[in-house]
Amino acid sequence: MTKKWTPASAADGVEQVLKILEGKWKLVILFHLFGGQVKRFSELEKAIPAITQKMLIQQLRQMEADGIVTRTIYHQVPPKVEYRLTDWGQELCPALDALLKWAENKQ
């Protein structure tokens, strides 16, 4: 059974999703982790040269709180922390693809 949407409630639902994607750097991070990739903090830093440490952490923490990213800490010296997508996070891929396809279709 499909939900009944009003313009307001549908807009609200999509807005919740956009909030998850909306940080300045979340999409780049996301696309670096798609396909089951696992990356250290420092690897993401190198992969996204323009990002600052503050921003990288901030975005990762929000993505973790939103349930699309997982954080794994290894208690070593120097420390090691790995980031990967949750299953749910991975499933964003086809949805974002739909947006890309739409954009390509501009008449």
| 1 makes contact with its own copies (CB under 8 A) | no
72 binds, among DNA, its own copies, none (CB under 5 to 8 A by kind): none
The option from its own copies, DNA, none interacting with 103 (CB < 5 to 8 A, set by class) reads its own copies
73 lines the binding site for its own copies (CB under 8 A): no
Return the beta strands (E) in the chain as ranges.
Answer: 39-40, 69-74, 80-85
The answer to whether 99 contacts its own copies (rule: CB under 8 A) is yes
By CB under 8 A, is residue 51 in contact with its own copies? no
Nearer to DNA, 78 or 94 (CB): 78
Separation of alpha carbons 83 and 48, rounded Å = 15
In whole angstroms, give the CA distance from residue 83 to residue 37: 9
Q: Is 105 in the site for its own copies (CB under 8 A)?
A: yes
Residues 6+ apart with CB under 8 A from 73: 79, 80, 81
- Answer yes or no: are the C-beta atoms of 25 and 59 closer than 8 Å: yes
How does 39-49 read in b/e, with b if 16+ C-beta sit within 10 Å? bebeebeeebe
Binding site for its own copies (CB under 8 A): 3, 5, 7-8, 10-11, 13-18, 21-22, 27-28, 30-32, 34, 47, 67, 86-88, 91-92, 94-96, 98-107
Binding site for DNA (CB under 7 A): 22-25, 40-42, 45, 51-55, 57-58, 71, 73, 77-81
